[in-house]
Amino acid sequence: MQKIKIQDAIGAVLMHDMTQIIPGKTKDARFRKGHVVKEEDIPVLLSMGKEHIYVWDQKPGLIHEDEAAERLAKAVAGPGLGFSETKEGKVNLIAEQDGLIYASEEGIYALNSIEHIILATLHNHRPVKKGDKIAGTRVVPLMIEEKVILEAEEITRQFKEPILQIRPLQSKKIGVVTTGSEVYHGRIQDKFGPVLQGKVVEWGSELLGQTFADDNVEMIQERIREHIAQGAEMVLVTGGMSVDPDDLTPTAIKGLGGELVTYGTPVLPGAMLLLAYLDGIPIMGLPGCVMYSRKTVFDLVATRILAGERLTRLEIAKYGHGGLCLECPQCTYPHCSFGK
């Protein structure tokens, strides 16, 4: 590229967007890449602090920032992602469907370890809506050696999964077993059912049905098996999740056999959640906080299961970093640190 005085720039073609900042009013590209400078543009450019501009003087092996950003975006994007218009050397990745972000943290670190490469993303496993901006790419210099971009593209090919993708929540049939003698015998009204109904519908799944069980291990197990026999692809068991001797839900679920992933999570609210798998079907014991807290560990775990993931004990343990909900008077989740 070649540097020339602004007074000599009439008729020159700009090789990059030029941003104008007016405090409190605007910060945007005043002149776009490819704009032909006119005489009336000179005072505006001078007011923007531009006494010189750069015009195209391409050398072999160099590519423009726009092309570099576009190639980076395409290299990292997987299913469920589209692209914004290239603007001021930046490309944003946009969700093309509702779902969860799945990001390769290792891949992001590897790319950002290359000098002059920038990939900024939202947190892993964050729920997003169609149209949300989830990442942005750019390079630092106006012109960059193509070999740097080739290196970045090669890194993305070394991973089995895309660096970034949006996984939609799968629609599943979900059964609910509500335990506790006080509800079973009608002494109090069940409050769990309506809450779970709302969440299940919000996630695009179907509440297969809700049944009730006394504080009896065999009855709880029977109710779980009944839901599975009726086609449940996930079973939620509410009540009886504390450490009191007469709270039998954990005992009942563990007694079914299958794989126990965890009883207890490093998340507040939601420490007493239980997750197990019976013949591949997730069984979750839900603590009482799910009934009254806006967001809990249940929201974090259930959505990942609905996105097709089979969680491990290690994945649950990772929730400890970011697992504290501040229980704000006005909940802003997912625009907060909870579950990150």
Comparing 3-7, 99-103, 276-280, which segment has the lowest mean pLDDT?
Answer: 3-7
Question: Would you say residue 54 has pLDDT above 90?
Answer: no
What is the rounded distance in angstroms from the CA atom of residue 126 to the CA atom of residue 116?
27
Confidence at residue 58, expressed as pLDDT on a 0 to 100 scale: 60
Higher pLDDT, residue 307 or 3: 307
Secondary structure percentages of the chain, helix, strand, coil, to 5: 30, 30, 40
pLDDT in tens, 267-287: 999 999 999 999 999 999 999
Higher pLDDT, residue 8 or 226: 226
What is the rounded distance in angstroms from the CA atom of residue 168 to the CA atom of residue 95?
11
Confidence at residue 56, expressed as pLDDT on a 0 to 100 scale: 65
Q: What is the CATH number of domain 2-55?
A: 3.90.105.10
> What would the mean pLDDT of 185-194 be, rounded to a whole number?
94
Q: 174 near 233, Cβ under 8 Å?
A: yes
> What are the residue boundaries of the structural domains of the chain, listed by start?
2-55, 62-167, 173-318
Question: Would you say residue 28 has pLDDT above 90?
Answer: no
Q: Homologous superfamily of 62-167 in CATH?
A: Pyrimidine nucleoside phosphorylase-like, C-terminal domain (3.90.1170.30)
Burial of 60 (0-12, 13-18, 19+ CB in 10 A): exposed
Structure tokens at 227: 């839901």
Confidence at residue 244, expressed as pLDDT on a 0 to 100 scale: 66
- Three-class secondary structure of residue 160 per DSSP: coil
User: Edge-to-edge strand order for the sheet containing 127-128?
Assistant: 127-128, 99-103, 164-167
Higher pLDDT, residue 247 or 177: 177
Question: Would you say residue 2 has pLDDT above 80?
Answer: no
Higher pLDDT, residue 211 or 2: 211
Question: Would you say residue 35 has pLDDT above 90?
Answer: no
**Residues whose CB falls within 8 Å of the CB of residue 261, separated by 6 or more in sequence, listed in order:** 275, 276, 277, 311, 312, 313, 316
* Highest mean pLDDT: which range of 47-51, 84-88, 152-156, 245-249: 152-156
Question: Would you say residue 87 has pLDDT above 70?
Answer: yes
Element of type H or E holding 176: strand 173-179
Comparing 47-61, 89-103, 218-232, 325-339, which segment has the lowest mean pLDDT?
Answer: 47-61
Instruction: Look up the pTM and report it.
Output: 0.86
Confidence at residue 212, expressed as pLDDT on a 0 to 100 scale: 97
Confidence at residue 130, expressed as pLDDT on a 0 to 100 scale: 98
Question: Would you say residue 138 has pLDDT above 70?
Answer: yes
Comparing 121-130, 220-229, 232-241, which segment has the lowest mean pLDDT?
Answer: 232-241
Confidence at residue 243, expressed as pLDDT on a 0 to 100 scale: 65
pLDDT in tens, 195-210: 999 999 999 999 999 9
Higher pLDDT, residue 242 or 169: 169
pLDDT band at 89 (very low <50, low <70, confident <90, very high): confident
Rounded to the nearest 10°, the torsion over CA 54, 58, 60, 61 is 50
Residue percentage of the chain with pLDDT more than 70: 98
Q: Could you tell me which CATH class the domain 173-318 is placed in?
A: alpha beta
Mean predicted lDDT score pLDDT of the chain = 93
pLDDT band at 172 (very low <50, low <70, confident <90, very high): very high
